[in-house]
Amino acid sequence: MNKKQILFTSFILLFSMFSCKKSQDNHNADKALTDTVIVNKTAVVTKNTAQQILEKPQVPVLCYHRIDNETKGDYSITPATLEAHMKALSDSGYTSIQPTQLYDYLVYNKAIPDKSVMITFDDSRTEHFEIAAPVMEKYGFRGVFFIMTITLNKKNYMDTTQIATLAARGHEIGLHSMDHTMATKYKTDADWETNVNKPIQKLSQITHKQVDYWAYPNGVFNTESAAKLQEHFKLSFILSQKRDSVYPLQTVRRVIIPDISTNSLMKSIKRNF
Ligand SMILES: [Zn+2]
């Protein structure tokens, strides 16, 4: 071999080594792709059983109603108290989670922040839009608003634009029946149509989102209503009673928060959940 031939042979050798390396890389990449596909194909998504759901630590779910300076009682707090509660939750490191996160946590064991809380408001009052949403947003929280459709656009109650705005700002809009008739009283198909099916349609037309969550009027449920509501909702919320052993997803506990100090709020969270 002359000098020219040696140079040429070296070049060919080097080139083929490089090509071989490249093709090996491609092969590995293909293999990785194939493995991923196979993993996806064989991954079995199992849902927790009712028993497993009941055994999981509960997430605190707070339930508020009226926010004003005049009304007294368990179902009302002042705007100042609400602000103090939100600040206390934020200062204590709480993160507000949305119902879809709670569902994925309960059913699929998906992770949620260590100090999770859900903040809910019942009965569609105007102050939920005017006071509650801005205060929650100030502390980086998002809430869940349970609406009775009979109150839409009525005095002191949220109108359709306000509800659509809440949904667009990342809050969840859930259903609280048509007119607050308790779920245990729905007997006929027509009752279910009036209190559940039609209101779901109405709310989803307003928010352009699915309506997947329900709060029982007065928190009252029985196994029959929970079974039926499961056909419509991913989660349904009761108050602080015992959950149904067969339908824990349709009987998620909440605690009513009256006008109490932030210390009492923290104690109530610890005691109830
Ligand atoms: Zn209510």
pLDDT tens column, 151-184: 999 999 999 999 999 999 999 999 999 999 999 9
pLDDT for res 32? 44
- In terms of Cβ atoms closer than 10 Å to its own Cβ (0-12, 13-18, 19+), residue 188 is exposed
Instruction: Using a pLDDT cut of 70, give the percent of the chain over it.
Output: 85
Task: Report how far ligand 1's centroid is from the alpha carbon of 183 (Å).
Answer: 12
Residue 43 binned pLDDT confidence (cut-offs 50, 70, 90): confident
pLDDT for res 72? 87
Task: Collect all residues with Cβ–Cβ distance below 8 Å to 63 and sequence separation of at least 6.
Answer: 120, 121, 122, 215, 237, 239, 254, 255, 256, 257
Nearest CA to 47 out of 101, 119, 104, 96 is that of 104
pLDDT at 14 over 70: no
pLDDT for res 153? 93
pLDDT in tens, 109-152: 999 999 999 999 999 999 999 999 999 999 999 999 999 999 99
pLDDT at 5 over 70: no
Task: Report how far ligand 1's centroid is from the alpha carbon of 63 (Å).
Answer: 10
Task: Report how far ligand 1's centroid is from the alpha carbon of 44 (Å).
Answer: 39
pTM of the model: 0.84
Instruction: Using a pLDDT cut of 90, give the percent of the chain over it.
Output: 82
pLDDT at 25 over 50: no
pLDDT at 228 over 60: yes
The CB-side HSE value for 19 (13 A sphere, CA atoms) comes to 6
More confident residue, 32 or 201: 201
Task: Report how far ligand 1's centroid is from the alpha carbon of 148 (Å).
Answer: 8
pLDDT at 20 over 70: no
pLDDT at 44 over 90: no
pLDDT at 243 over 90: yes
170: DSSP letter: T
Average of per-residue pLDDT values in the chain:
89
CA distance 97 to 81: 21
Task: Report how far ligand 1's centroid is from the alpha carbon of 123 (Å).
Answer: 5
Phi, psi of 220, rounded to the nearest 5 degrees: -85, 130
CA distance 124 to 78: 17
Task: Report how far ligand 1's centroid is from the alpha carbon of 176 (Å).
Answer: 7
pLDDT for res 42? 61
Residue 74 binned pLDDT confidence (cut-offs 50, 70, 90): confident
